[in-house]
Amino acid sequence: MMWAVNTAAGVALLLLLVVRKNYRVYPAFTFYIFVNVAVAASLFIVYRLWGFSSTVSWRIGWATQAVTVCARAWAVIEICRRFLSRYQGIWALARRVLLACAGLVLLYSGVAVRHQWKLALPTVDRALELAIAAVIVVLFLFARYYGLRPERTDRSLALGLCLYSCFRVLNDTISDRYLYDYAKVWNLLGMLAFFASLVLWTWALRKSQRETAAEEKLLPLGVYQSFAPQINLRLQLLNDQVNKIFSSEVTRH
């Protein structure tokens, strides 16, 4: 039942993307939704042919999951670009920070688990999902730190991707512990979480979106190079002042 609802919602979102011509603005996100619908349809056939618990179904299921996660990662990259690419300097810095962040999270996920072959696929899946969630959170923090306001639609898409990835991390972690008993609940909760994300994305994409503005005319490089160290110096001065107050308070006690 939930599977049919999710597929129908996915098809509806895909149609909305086409009708509103938003596929031009979000090609990677459109591809991700298309992959989801295609995966759902192909799994339906696979399960009918080989059954839900067969090894063939299990293999095909995880292979399609790998494709889906890669498509989601591409969609996340697209959202990141839309968030920050107008600000060339910040975008260049953010790219490095986000890549480093994703790498560190993958490393952390690898270190934090028991290494069992039968759990290898959920482990990889969880690591990728955690990396995706971390990248989106850091992206939001970046935007907040620099006082940049991304488009409302971009924010909603990123939020849906992040919450779904967070949910999958939790779901994979529980299934890691209660592998067999949890399988049915794992599927149901996963589908419910995805449905919630689909609703959020559909709401966000109900109107046509404009494409990203062409690259801005930026300041000469020299302006930043001359201002940034001076401002940091002033900040240091203010910090010293507060630091001295703090030190004097500490030493007097």
Partner 1 sequence: MSLALILFFGSVAVLLLGLGWALWKPWEQKNIDSDPRWLEGRDQRHTNYLPQIRQALAAADYDFLSKRASRGTQRRVRRERLNVALAYLGALRGDFESLLRMARVIAALSPEVDAAHEFERLRLTAEFAWRYQMIRWKLLTGMTPLVQLAGLSDLVSGLSVRLEQAMKELGERAAVAAELASSMNRRGMGTV
Least separation in angstroms between residue 44's CB and partner 1 is: 30
179 makes contact with partner 1 (CB under 8 A): no
CA 199 to each of CA 40, 163, 193: distance values in angstroms, whole numbers, following the listed order? 17, 13, 10
Which residues in the 5-64 window bind partner 1 by CB under 8 A?
none
Using the minimum distance from each CB to partner 1, give the nearer residue, 43 or 142: 142
Angle between the N-to-C axes of helices 183-204 and 27-50, in degrees from 0 to 180, rounded to the nearest 10: 150
147 makes contact with partner 1 (CB under 8 A): yes
Which of 34, 29, 36 shows the shortest CA–CA distance to 6?
A: 36
Using the minimum distance from each CB to partner 1, give the nearer residue, 40 or 169: 169
162 makes contact with partner 1 (CB under 8 A): yes
Least separation in angstroms between residue 48's CB and partner 1 is: 34
- Classify residue 93 by burial, with Cβ atoms within 10 Å: 0-12, 13-18, 19+: middle
Using the minimum distance from each CB to partner 1, give the nearer residue, 13 or 90: 90
Q: Which stretch binds partner 1 (CB under 8 A): 20-28, 138-146, 183-191, 201-209?
A: 138-146
- Classify residue 119 by burial, with Cβ atoms within 10 Å: 0-12, 13-18, 19+: middle
99 makes contact with partner 1 (CB under 8 A): no
Q: Are 27 and 59 in contact (CB under 8 A)?
A: no
Q: Which stretch binds partner 1 (CB under 8 A): 30-38, 48-56, 91-99, 189-197?
A: 91-99
210 makes contact with partner 1 (CB under 8 A): no
Distance between CA atoms of residues 124 and 185, nearest Å:
20
Which two structure tokens, joined as six digits, stand for 233? 């110096």
2 makes contact with partner 1 (CB under 8 A): no
Least separation in angstroms between residue 56's CB and partner 1 is: 29
Distance between CA atoms of residues 152 and 77, nearest Å:
17
189 makes contact with partner 1 (CB under 8 A): no
Which of 161, 197, 201 shows the shortest CA–CA distance to 13?
A: 201
Which residues in the 104-123 window bind partner 1 by CB under 8 A?
108-109, 112-114
Using the minimum distance from each CB to partner 1, give the nearer residue, 45 or 235: 235
Least separation in angstroms between residue 171's CB and partner 1 is: 10
